[in-house]
Amino acid sequence: MKKAFLSFATATLVAAMLTSCDNTKKTEPITDSTSAKGDTTLKTTVTKTETVKSDKPTFSNEDVNKGLAEYAQLKEAYIAALKSQNKTQVEALTSRYTTWAENAAAWSSKLKAEEVQKYSDYLTKLSNDWAAAAQQAVELK
Per-residue model confidence as pLDDT tens for the chain (141 residues): 545 444 444 444 444 444 444 445 556 666 655 555 665 665 666 555 444 446 778 889 999 899 989 988 898 898 888 888 888 998 999 899 899 889 888 888 888 989 999 989 988 998 898 888 778 766 765
- pTM given for the model: 0.53
What DSSP letter does each residue of the chain carry, written as one string?
-HHHHHHHHHHHHHHHHHHHHT--PPP----------S------------PPP------S-HHHHHHHHHHHHHHHHHHHHHHHT-HHHHHHHHHHHHHHHHHHHHHGGGS-GGGHHHHHHHHHHHHHHHHHHHHHHHHH-
Are 93 and 133 a contacting pair, CB within 8 Å?
no
Q: What is the pLDDT of residue 40?
A: 60
Q: What is the pLDDT of residue 87?
A: 87
What are the CA-CA distances from residue 7 to residues 15, 107, 109 (Å)? Answer: 12, 109, 111
Are 61 and 116 a contacting pair, CB within 8 Å?
no
Q: What is the pLDDT of residue 117?
A: 92
Q: What is the pLDDT of residue 32?
A: 58
Q: What is the pLDDT of residue 28?
A: 62
Q: What is the pLDDT of residue 85?
A: 84
